[in-house]
Chains A and B, each alone.
Chain A
Amino acid sequence: MREIEIDANSKEPREINRAIKNAAEEYDKIIIKNPNAMHYMLAGLTKPVEVVIDGSAGYFVGTMIDGAKVHITENAGWFPADNMTDGEVIIDGAAGDGVGQGIYGGTVVVRRNVGSRTGEIMKNGTIIIGGNSGFMSGLFMMGGRIIVLGDISDDAGESIIRGTIYVLGDIKSLGKNAKIEEINDNDKKELKELLPSYGFELEEEKYDEFRKIVPRSKRPFYGKETEEG
């Protein structure tokens, strides 16, 4: 494996991203040292390269990536993995608002708590939150799945259209067009395959405690429920 270290200290996001994109042409693994919570790192990276951000990232880390496997060893700011189409973003610490905003595919994992509006307008893909997820998680979600191992705050699944939010902890309140269902055997099987693969080892009985938030209607605003396709 060809590996390179890039020192982000005293550099602008544009310089770092240019260096990362150049390195991705030649190397399999890129390690970014001294990231210092810089914004926009890895924006638009479309190579299936492995990237380790050794520290915290700022806003929009991994926005619009396609295929990269990203590991952030500390925290991330707002909108990590925004609009990602494919790949993996794993955050060992906490993250801010809008985790996985608008993703089309791929997987985002945050091991600790996250802010509000997790997975807003996501179309597909998977978001796993090891801790709690804040206000309006799954806002106008259009597909994919969110798994929250802690609690989910007010207005969960606000205006959700498609997709599923699995919650192990408390659901403080539901948003408009959201309802709670018990999980079935297929859901449990899916979760049992998925969670251990990202290092979340749950006791067998815990899988029975998940509930899922799904949409009441696919056309909550634009027509009548009877007109659903």
Chain B
Amino acid sequence: MCGIAGVVFKDKKLHPVGEIMTRMLDALQHRGPDSAGFSIYGGLGLAEHEYLLNIEVKEKSGLLEKVKETVNATTKIETEEIIPSVENYNIYRCKIALNSFEELKPLIMDVDKLEDVIVLNGSHSFEMIKDVGSVKEIADRYNTYSKMGTHAIGHTRFSTESIVDRYHAHPFQSYITPDITVVHNGQITNYWKIRDPLERKGHIFETNNDTECIVHYIADKLYEGYKLEEALEQSVKDMDGPFSYIVGTPNGVGIAKDQLGLRPGVLAENDEVFAIASEEVSLRAVMDTHDIDQISPGETRAYTI
């Protein structure tokens, strides 16, 4: 299993989506105890060309300074914050400015060269929070309750295919086009068939995790000019296996479900909110509704603001 959830406020205004997504994920805790994560869109308020880096750094003498030196070699660190995590790791967060989005991935790869350091993500229009542990532990650690935004996606992970650590926690992000993230419940059984053409196009894979494959696939389709709905529909045709996944973009969320419908997905919507999740119990954390739609096998749904 794994639990996935997404929520969009249709009025495009800021809402306490951090708190809402925390409740949605807590309701799905039973689907995955290993790690959890959030992409909270719309509330960062960064200026054009500003980015937020989340970097996992082991507690080791002088290592954080090396991280800062590496970042400063590309661009000056504007603000910074250290969030203590578990197992002798801290999350170093810093705000930077770049000349263009294209400079972001090379900077991340430079920092990743340092031993015991890995960049969890770099973003402009959303805040990623992901870590090992339960939803409540992570929510307390990062104070997700205080995060405002227009929409969000989230995940509780039951690991089956790859190791349990912060980097392999969902959401996964792609840098093919800005700020695309994915949370996923399932397996892509023709993984290499999907990955190979993406690598041939020059896209970089950091793991063998199939969720990373999905996020690059979707980001590549969006980069090629597909609309979110079109990218989701094409993915259902191209990808084999049991899956249900949610995409977050700077202006919306979408869900796709495999053609045999082997992983769950439910949806509820009213005039204010569009919400999707693995189970009804999660939707009830965001709205009081009796009308729950089952996402059908092979169906996709999306909402953009």
B296 close to A75 (CB less than 8 A)? no
A58 close to B281 (CB less than 8 A)? yes
Least CB separation from B259: chain A residue = A135
- Interface code B14-47, partner A: CB below 8 Å = 1, 0 otherwise? 0000000000000000100000000000000000
For the complex, is B284 an interface residue (Cβ under 8 Å from A)? yes
For the complex, is A74 an interface residue (Cβ under 8 Å from B)? yes
List the one stretch of A24-32, A91-99, A206-214 in contact with chain B: A91-99
Q: How many angstroms between the C-alpha atoms of A36 and B285 in the bound complex?
A: 10
A75 close to B290 (CB less than 8 A)? yes
B281 close to A116 (CB less than 8 A)? no
Q: How many angstroms between the C-alpha atoms of A94 and B281 in the bound complex?
A: 14
Contacts of B284 in A (CB 8 A): 36-37, 56
Most chain A CB within 10 A, of B264, B290, B292, B293, is at B292
Least CB separation from B283: chain A residue = A37
Using A113-B294, A134-B296, A135-B296 as known contacts, say yes or no to A78 and B264 having CB atoms under 8 A apart: yes
Contacts of B290 in A (CB 8 A): 74-75, 93
Picked from A58, A116, A117, A134, the residue with its CB within 8 Å of the CB of B280 is A58
Which B residues between 261 and 305 are near A, CB-CB below 8 angstroms?
Answer: 261, 264, 266, 279-281, 284, 290-294, 296-297
Q: Looking at chain B's contact residues, is the secondary structure mostly helix, strand, loop, or mixed?
A: loop
Q: How many angstroms between the C-alpha atoms of A117 and B293 in the bound complex?
A: 16
A134 close to B294 (CB less than 8 A)? yes
- Interface code A54-68, partner B: CB below 8 Å = 1, 0 otherwise? 001011000000000
- Interface code A33-53, partner B: CB below 8 Å = 1, 0 otherwise? 000111100000000000000
A77 close to B297 (CB less than 8 A)? no
Least CB separation from A93: chain B residue = B290
Q: How many angstroms between the C-alpha atoms of A36 and B279 in the bound complex?
A: 11
Using A38-B281, A116-B297 as known contacts, say yes or no to A93 and B292 having CB atoms under 8 A apart: yes
- Interface code B218-262, partner A: CB below 8 Å = 1, 0 otherwise? 000000000000000000000000000000000000000000110
Contacts of B292 in A (CB 8 A): 56, 75, 93-94
What's the minimum C-beta distance from B29 to chain A, rounded to whole angstroms? 12
A134 close to B281 (CB less than 8 A)? no
Q: How many angstroms between the C-alpha atoms of A37 and B285 in the bound complex?
A: 11
For the complex, is A103 an interface residue (Cβ under 8 Å from B)? no
Q: How many angstroms between the C-alpha atoms of A77 and B237 in the bound complex?
A: 26
Using A39-B30, A96-B264 as known contacts, say yes or no to A114 and B294 having CB atoms under 8 A apart: yes
Q: How many angstroms between the C-alpha atoms of A134 and B296 in the bound complex?
A: 7
- Interface code B187-204, partner A: CB below 8 Å = 1, 0 otherwise? 000000000000000000
Contacts of A153 in B (CB 8 A): 296
B261 close to A115 (CB less than 8 A)? yes
Q: How many angstroms between the C-alpha atoms of A77 and B261 in the bound complex?
A: 14
Least CB separation from B280: chain A residue = A37
Picked from A94, A96, A135, the residue with its CB within 8 Å of the CB of B297 is A135
A58 close to B296 (CB less than 8 A)? no
Q: How many angstroms between the C-alpha atoms of A37 and B260 in the bound complex?
A: 24
A77 close to B296 (CB less than 8 A)? no
B294 close to A96 (CB less than 8 A)? yes
Least CB separation from A13: chain B residue = B30
A58 close to B297 (CB less than 8 A)? no
A58 close to B279 (CB less than 8 A)? yes
What's the minimum C-beta distance from A163 to chain B, rounded to whole angstroms? 22
Least CB separation from A135: chain B residue = B297
Most chain B CB within 10 A, of A38, A56, A93, A153, is at A56
Binding site for A on B (CB under 8 A): 30, 260-261, 264, 266, 279-281, 284, 290-294, 296-297
Known: A37-B280, A58-B279, A94-B293. 10 other contacts (CB 8 A): A38-B281, A77-B280, A78-B264, A93-B290, A93-B292, A94-B294, A96-B264, A96-B266, A97-B264, A115-B296
Jot down 19 A-B pairs with beta carbons below 8 A, ordered by A: A37-B280, A38-B281, A56-B280, A59-B279, A74-B290, A94-B291, A94-B292, A94-B294, A96-B266, A97-B261, A97-B264, A97-B294, A115-B261, A116-B296, A116-B297, A134-B294, A135-B261, A135-B297, A153-B296
